């Protein structure tokens, strides 16, 4: 008798779960999102670059997965883009950079109109190396279907941490530069929609 009741209850709960599926994951809106990095050459010339193609998802529990297409690097100079793709990122072997993290509850439980500052700690995978990386961000719940997350300060990415120092040296040599910094500030502004 008890077993039948449990089975009936389980079936009822399962039916409810199927009838009312959990809210869909959030996805990055590529049209309104941006990912930038700075480079400094010859000790004083700093330029702003970006990646034209990246996407990502955010689950309701806060699990974040972002993938950046490294061949979409955009420095506004075609030959430099090509050199960075081949000599630095080696996109034929390492096509993507990925970032995985869990967003804190303070960012996931926002009501429409609320804004919160916080830190997102995760793992950045680039050039075959996984490195713990943190971003200081501001999260804003625009409405029930829109969440924006932007850096409040740049995160410094060190080429050496990802085995990219040799690639930076090769780029410096081919471009005839005295120096290229191996620490790169990264900023982003992304919009997630449901």
DSSP states of 61-82 as a string?
Answer: T-EEEEEEEGGGEE-S-HHHHH
Residue 162, C-beta contacts closer than 8 angstroms, at least 6 positions apart: 126, 127, 129, 131
pLDDT of residue 18: 46
Q: Which tens digits make up the pLDDT trace of 1-57?
A: 544 444 544 444 444 444 444 456 999 999 999 999 999 999 889 999 999 999 999
- Which pTM was predicted? 0.85
Contact 107, 149 (CB under 8 A): yes
The confidence band for 150, taking pLDDT boundaries of 50, 70 and 90, is very high
Q: What is the mean pLDDT of residues 149-166?
A: 96
pLDDT of residue 102: 95
Number of C-beta neighbours around residue 1 at 10 A: 4
Residue extents of the structural domains in the chain: 23-193
Q: Which tens digits make up the pLDDT trace of 68-107?
A: 999 999 999 999 999 999 999 999 999 999 999 999 999 9
Which ranges of the chain does DSSP label H, i.e. alpha helix? 2-19, 78-83, 105-108, 165-175
pLDDT of residue 24: 64
The CATH superfamily assigned to 23-193 is Lipid/polyisoprenoid-binding, YceI-like (2.40.128.110)
Distance CA 148, CA 2 (A): 49
């Amino acid at each position: 008798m008890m077993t039948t009741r449990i089975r009936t209850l389980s079936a009822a709960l399962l039916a409810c779960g199927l009838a009312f599926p959990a809210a869909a994951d959030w996805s990055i809106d590529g049209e309104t999102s941006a990912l930038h990095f700075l480079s400094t050459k010859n000790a004083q010339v700093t330029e702003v670059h970006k990646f034209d193609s990246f996407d990502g998802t955010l689950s309701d529990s806060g699990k974040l997965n972002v993938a950046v297409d490294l061949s979409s690097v955009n420095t506004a100079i075609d030959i430099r883009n090509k050199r960075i793709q081949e000599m630095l990122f080696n996109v034929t072997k390492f096509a993507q950079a990925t970032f995985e993290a869990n967003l804190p509850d303070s960012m996931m439980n926002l009501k429409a109109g609320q804004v919160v500052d916080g830190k997102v700690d995760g793992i950045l995978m680039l050039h075959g190396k996984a490195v713990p990386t943190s971003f200081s961000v501001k999260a804003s719940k625009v409405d029930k279907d829109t969440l924006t997350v932007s850096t409040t300060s740049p995160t410094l990415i060190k080429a050496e941490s990802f085995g990219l120092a040799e690639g930076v040296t090769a780029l410096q040599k081919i471009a005839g530069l005295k120096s290229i910094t191996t620490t790169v500030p990264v900023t982003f502004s992304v919009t997630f929609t449901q």
